[in-house]
Structure formats: structure tokens, C-alpha cells
Structure 1
């Protein structure tokens, strides 16, 4: 349980929250853009389910304080857009050895399970801000982005700007909660894990595009 956060200047905390909100919003917008252009989805299914569940819970069930609450509303709206892309294009990448009829039930089960898991984490740790769940699923997302690239072995639905925006968007809350809870070794480990996998993802996308003769900086 996270108790007795260190005192932090309100202006600094709001700056870090808004910085996170801005860069994650850019991440979502770029994912939507590339998904539209490449006719695919740009967020792995398990990560999408976790995001949708987290944003719904902490926007409507256990609402965050401002300004984070407004950011949650915005993120939820964008994730619904990414959901539409996943439901439209995701069946093409569903495992060929499984019946296609399992595509929607698999997604539905994953979404419900993610919501129950996040609610259980909050109850177990008596922590209704969603910090543990947020950084835990962020690490999962970082790993899954790397896996998505390796599975596709292409930059379809992806760009270096998405990877960089996610990395920077996570640095802001990592700094914020480190300042609040500098003695939480679990959170520190999560911050470092996310940063490492995000940096790996940036490097993989950059290397692949250079190898293919694509300018990483021109592919928005």
C-alpha cells in the first residue's frame, strides 16, 4: 500500500500530469492515424483491453482528481477509436489454427478479465488511484509492442513517433510518482523496465526502417 506521499508543489505535479496527458494523447492519435493509413490496428489486444478497463474504472468507478480525470475521459475516447480499428482489422492476425469464431469471445473475455484484475489489484493493495495497475500494464504494453513488431516483422501500424511519444509520456508520471514515493522499490523497478523496453522498441523501429530504406522521421 502506498502511504504518506512526499509533499510536492502543486504546480510541479500538475505540470507532470499534463505532460503525461499530452504525450499519451499524441501516442493515441498517432496510433489511430497509422492504423487508418495502414488498414490495421496499432495497439496489441491485451494492452488495449487493459487500457480500456483502467480508463473506465478510474474515470467512472473511482474517479481521479482533476486534472487527471479530464485526461482519463480523453484517453478513453481515443481508446474506443483504437478498439474500433482492432475489431475491424484484428481478425486478420488471429491465429490461423484457431476457429475465427473465437475472435470476438477472446477479446470480450480479455476485456472483462482485465477490468476484474485491475479492480482486484486496487482492492488488494487498498490503492484506488490505479498506480500499481497503471505501471504494471504499461510495462506489459511495452513488452507487447516489441512482440508485435517481432511477430509482424514490419512497421505496419507503427512509427518511431508512436514509440517516442509513449516513452516520453511515461517518463512524466514516472518522475511524478518517484517524487511522491521515492522508497517504492516495486514502482522503481516498473519505471526502469518500461524505459528499457520502450528504448528497445524505438531502436527496433529505427533500425528496421533504415534497413528498408525508409526515413524514420518522415513516416509520421
Structure 2
């Protein structure tokens, strides 16, 4: 069951990343909130490298796929992200902020490893940054005034991709922390799905009204 849930999570999150790349190029923006993108890339780069250097597991292969997908999402962030900020933010300032954000993300992930070790750290850090991401997706929807650069597919796949390891490591792994944080992620993810669904149906109704 753990292996099955791991594969489900891997497929769902891969769908998130592929859809995010497509949405980013389609709408000329980035589809993953900046702080979450930095933490995700740091997490996947660190644990993919560790897995490749030690014992390549199913999760390790998934981490490598995710890290490669993140490179494409990072490209959309650096290519289009400056346009999302106020005019006084120069290109140089934008890049400096992005580098600082990335360095901070790597530092946080490595501190988790130092504190909890290679076995437990990826689980704790992944669920905490997932909760942050769930809130940031809603914040991005509000800041952009709608679903630009986002999609209902991303919203649903993100929920499933987080729910599967919540069951695996929270329920079957007997971890109240993971189970609780994962449940909170689901609450925010379902709220985000509702926002995206409402935005989609609203656009459809508007199209019917115009015709």
C-alpha cells in the first residue's frame, strides 16, 4: 500500500509540474508561487542527489523527475516573473531577490536534514512546505484577480499528490504531525479547487451571456 500511494503521489505531482509548465508558457507567467517553488526545487535537488549517491529508490527516481521539471518551471519564473512585480523592482533587484530566496530555501532544507536526519527530514519539510504552498496558491489567485497561470488540473492533482503521502506516512506511518498537517493541506487544497472551479464556471457563464 505504501508503494502504491508513493506512485500515486509521484504521478499526481508530475501532472502538477507538467501542467504548471504548460500554464506558465501559455499565460506568460509562472504557475507555482515563488517561495513554494524555491522550497520545492531545493527539496528535490537535495534528496534526488542524496538518493542517486546512496540507494536509488522509487521515491528517488520520482525526485529526479520532479527536479528536472522544476528547472523548466524556474525558467518560466525568471523569464516572466519580473512582470508580476511593481515597476520599481528592476531586473537586477528581481534576480537578486530570487537568488536570496533560493539560497534561503536550500539552507532551510539542509537545516531539516541536520536536525532530523535523512530519513525523517524529507517528510517533515515536505508537508510543512506543502501547507505553505496550499495557502500561497490561494494568495496567488487573489493577487492576480483570477486563475491566470493556474488550472483546475493543477489544483486537483496537487490535492491528490499530497493526500496520498498523508495517508501513507500520516495514517500508516502513525505520525500525528504528518496526518494533521496533511489534513490542513487538504482543507486549503479543496478551498483552492473550489475557487478554480468557480472561476471556470464563471468564465463559461460569461461566454454564454456574451453569445
Q: TM-score, normalised by structure 2?
A: 0.90
Q: Tell me how far 1:213 sits from its aligned partner.
A: 2.3
Q: 1:102 aligns with which of 93, 97, 116?
A: 93
Q: 1:150 aligns with which of 142, 145, 152?
A: 142
Q: Tell me how far 1:127 sits from its aligned partner.
A: 4.7
- Aligned length, in residue pairs: 203
User: Which deviates more from structure 2 when the two are superposed, residues 155-164 or residues 121-130?
Assistant: 121-130
Partner of 1:61: 50
Secondary structure of 1:40's partner? coil
Which stretches of structure 1, 4 residues or more, deviate above 3 A after TM superposition? 61-65, 95-100, 126-129
Do residues 199 (structure 1) and 190 (structure 2) align? yes
Partner of 1:15: 4
Could you say if the C-alpha distance between residues 83 and 186 of structure 1 is closer, same or farther in structure 2, counting changes exceeding 3 Å? Answer: same
Do the aligned residues in 2 keep the contact of 1:138 with 1:194 (CA within 8 Å)?
A: yes
Q: TM-score, normalised by structure 1?
A: 0.86
Secondary structure of 1:115's partner? helix
Secondary structure of 1:126's partner? helix
Could you say if the C-alpha distance between residues 116 and 62 of structure 1 is closer, same or farther in structure 2, counting changes exceeding 3 Å? Answer: farther
- Distance in 1 (CA, whole Å) between partners of 2:172 and 2:201 is 40
Partner of 1:91: 82
Q: Tell me how far 1:128 sits from its aligned partner.
A: 3.6
1:42-82 Cα distance to aligned partner (Å, 9 max, x none): 01110110010000110113657510111001000000000
Partner of 1:48: 37
- Distance in 1 (CA, whole Å) between partners of 2:11 and 2:117 is 28
Do residues 169 (structure 1) and 161 (structure 2) align? yes
Do the aligned residues in 2 keep the contact of 1:94 with 1:100 (CA within 8 Å)?
A: no
Q: 1:178 aligns with which of 155, 161, 170?
A: 170
Could you say if the C-alpha distance between residues 23 and 142 of structure 1 is closer, same or farther in structure 2, counting changes exceeding 3 Å? Answer: same
- Distance in 2 (CA, whole Å) between partners of 1:34 and 1:94 is 19
Secondary structure of 2:30's partner? coil
Do residues 80 (structure 1) and 71 (structure 2) align? yes
Could you say if the C-alpha distance between residues 109 and 200 of structure 1 is closer, same or farther in structure 2, counting changes exceeding 3 Å? Answer: same
Partner of 2:133: 141
| Structure 2 gap segments, 5+ residues each | 207-211
Q: Tell me how far 1:101 sits from its aligned partner.
A: 2.5
CA root-mean-square deviation: 1.7
Higher helix proportion: 2
Do residues 159 (structure 1) and 148 (structure 2) align? no
